[in-house]
Chain A
């Protein structure tokens, strides 16, 4: 269309007096405390969204939600068959199957939470176009959703540990495991919030997150133990600073080896979890007014 955009014409101006103390900007970013209060108010929405997506993720399969339990059980049986029956390789680790199952199952949760949390804002575009709610609800709901699907995985994991050859080593230390899991969820949430903002801006980063997770996997003693390869105390110290290494180490100590995890391990993990969660929340909140432009 070629009609001239009438930009030059001078027009009469009508002034409207607007009370700026009553009419507030619609896309203003609320202060952090108010933002957190808004998030708390939307907790029902976060829960409903997470639950709806857990269910709809398995819809279409004949067995439906039963897959939430079946999949980890089948995963575990793969490890049992390959490492327990076929390879019979324990790489010098006591109760290697338990070691392996704890490592892979627990690491998988962190990896899945971080990647789906980071993509949650892009995935939640249609909801964002329809409703105004604090955008941090989306990464939080993603992590809640992964946590809900994580519970059957944990049950499968504990079952494997109970039936494995050396027999269960039940002790009071089993009661410590929920605390490790709490810190693990907090860590995953922090990373999801931290990464959601750059990933929303530059979606290409999704691909890099997958690669970063792979590096992290090998640096967290999921398949093998470090003591065999590394003698240098400095490098060993660096590995002990890795929060996922601590998550796996503490859980194995409690469930498999009957060792009480030392305070340093808890401190490292606790600082990481609380720290990333706090920083992640602030970073995400600072971008709040830019998520709509998708």
Chain B
């Protein structure tokens, strides 16, 4: 075991062997046939579908330091968004845990606020939800409007916004609290070029203030342009974790081959990338400071 001690910038986020499983409905005919007869009948009566166990994350470990902009790439369903929700503390892992130096703020696409309310009221409510006082929320308002840059639409109900406008407003709200740790889920993809520049500016500012940013995107190009580091997830596992350019290039080459139907070649590329990757192991020091017993042991 190579023990490389880092005395670089402070660790902001540590994810330690996180496993997440979901039990969800599935209308797979093969699955239904495998059930006993009485259960099939019962399911039909109450209109329920058989459930399957989906492994979203299977033992992910990583650390992020101050000044890092970590891009997370991977196919749809590779566990990228789940990982962000775990880091944000919005979801509890089945095993393992995520630790952070300060409260991370997640900015997601499906985080519709209250669609009936105007943009202005949503800004107010969002700021309060992040723990600001009314005075602080009032003070943050001009900045939010400037970063969002959606003009007079701020006074219209949010349900009338286009998806791009909503994403801009959400990004601006999340950035308003000046979080040390900002998690962004596919949000930049929907903005236009002007907004992308402004949000990149904002991200750079956050990183300079000793913060770190996570950016989830299946567009490896965005990650390549805006991040310093990248992590490639596949089927809930870390394939590689390294400089943004290298990881994003490897991922794009693999994804391109996959899209062209070169399954054999893609499998080989994935295998290579995986072999070259490194596993991260989190060592807590002091060893059991506030060590939490894993949930499965507590039950």
Chain A residues, CB < 8 A from B11: 16, 18-19, 23
Does B283 contact A130, Cβ atoms closer than 8 Å? no
A93 at the interface (CB under 8 A from B): no
Does B290 contact A15, Cβ atoms closer than 8 Å? no
Does B131 contact A13, Cβ atoms closer than 8 Å? no
Does B111 contact A126, Cβ atoms closer than 8 Å? yes
Which of A23, A42, A126, A293 sits near B14, CB closer than 8 Å?
A23
Distance in Å: Cβ of B45 to nearest Cβ of chain A: 15
Which of A3, A14, A26, A290 sits near B100, CB closer than 8 Å?
A26
Chain B residues, CB < 8 A from A15: 1-5, 280-283
Chain A residues, CB < 8 A from B125: 45, 48-49, 52
A237 at the interface (CB under 8 A from B): no
Distance in Å: Cβ of B218 to nearest Cβ of chain A: 14
Which of B92, B270, B279, B285 sits near A293, CB closer than 8 Å?
B92
Chain B residues, CB < 8 A from A61: none
* Given A26-B87, A132-B88: A14 touches B14 (CB 8 Å cut-off): no
Contact flags A123-153 to B (C-beta < 8 A → 1, else 0)? 0001111111100000000000000000000
Does B278 contact A13, Cβ atoms closer than 8 Å? yes
From residue 98 to 148 of chain B, which have CB atoms closer than 8 A to chain A?
98-101, 103-108, 110-114, 116-117, 121, 124-126, 128-134, 137
**Known contacts A5-B237, A16-B63; 20 further A-B pairs (Cβ under 8 A):** A4-B267, A9-B271, A11-B274, A11-B275, A12-B278, A12-B279, A15-B5, A15-B280, A15-B283, A16-B11, A16-B283, A19-B286, A20-B284, A20-B290, A21-B290, A25-B99, A44-B134, A45-B128, A56-B117, A126-B111
Does A14 contact B117, Cβ atoms closer than 8 Å? no
Q: List 20 A-B contacts (CB under 8 A).
A: A3-B263, A11-B274, A14-B2, A18-B282, A20-B288, A23-B12, A25-B292, A26-B97, A26-B98, A26-B103, A42-B128, A44-B128, A44-B132, A49-B125, A52-B121, A130-B111, A133-B130, A290-B92, A292-B92, A293-B91
Chain B residues, CB < 8 A from A7: 237
In the complex, which residue of chain B has the Cβ closest to the Cβ of A42? B131
Distance in Å: Cβ of B191 to nearest Cβ of chain A: 18
B235 at the interface (CB under 8 A from A): yes
Does A14 contact B126, Cβ atoms closer than 8 Å? no
Chain A residues, CB < 8 A from B114: 52-53, 56
Does B292 contact A28, Cβ atoms closer than 8 Å? yes
Q: Which of A3, A41, A130 has the most CB of B within 10 A?
A: A130
In the complex, which residue of chain B has the Cβ closest to the Cβ of A288? B92
Chain B residues, CB < 8 A from A6: 237, 239, 270-271, 274-275
Does A130 contact B63, Cβ atoms closer than 8 Å? no
Q: Which of A4, A7, A45 has the most CB of B within 10 A?
A: A45
Does B14 contact A16, Cβ atoms closer than 8 Å? yes
Distance in Å: Cβ of B186 to nearest Cβ of chain A: 14
> Which residues of chain B have a CB within 8 Å of any CB of chain A?
1-6, 11-14, 16, 63, 75, 85-93, 97-101, 103-108, 110-114, 116-117, 121, 124-126, 128-134, 137, 170, 234-235, 237, 239, 258, 263, 266-267, 270-271, 274-275, 277-292
A14 to B1, CA, bound (A): 7
Does B97 contact A23, Cβ atoms closer than 8 Å? no
Chain B residues, CB < 8 A from A90: none
A182 to B292, CA, bound (A): 40
Counting from the closest, the 7 A-B pairs by CB-CB distance are A26-B89, A130-B111, A20-B289, A56-B116, A45-B128, A23-B99, A20-B284
Does B117 contact A52, Cβ atoms closer than 8 Å? yes
Mostly helix, strand, loop or mixed at chain B's interface?
Answer: mixed
* Given A9-B274, A20-B99: A27 touches B92 (CB 8 Å cut-off): yes
Distance in Å: Cβ of B113 to nearest Cβ of chain A: 7
* Given A44-B128, A127-B129: A20 touches B278 (CB 8 Å cut-off): no
A218 to B170, CA, bound (A): 48
A86 at the interface (CB under 8 A from B): no
Distance in Å: Cβ of B24 to nearest Cβ of chain A: 12
A25 to B289, CA, bound (A): 11
A235 at the interface (CB under 8 A from B): no
Which of B113, B283, B284 sits near A126, CB closer than 8 Å?
B113
Contact flags A42-71 to B (C-beta < 8 A → 1, else 0)? 101100110011001001000000000000
In the complex, which residue of chain B has the Cβ closest to the Cβ of A11? B279
A2 at the interface (CB under 8 A from B): yes
Which of A13, A24, A292 sits near B290, CB closer than 8 Å?
A24
Does B92 contact A20, Cβ atoms closer than 8 Å? no
Chain A residues, CB < 8 A from B280: 13-16
A289 at the interface (CB under 8 A from B): yes
A4 to B268, CA, bound (A): 10
Does A14 contact B278, Cβ atoms closer than 8 Å? yes
Does A11 contact B278, Cβ atoms closer than 8 Å? yes
A202 at the interface (CB under 8 A from B): no
Does A289 contact B92, Cβ atoms closer than 8 Å? yes
Chain A residues, CB < 8 A from B98: 25-27
A128 to B108, CA, bound (A): 11
Distance in Å: Cβ of B256 to nearest Cβ of chain A: 15
Distance in Å: Cβ of B285 to nearest Cβ of chain A: 5
A131 to B132, CA, bound (A): 12
Chain B residues, CB < 8 A from A4: 267, 271
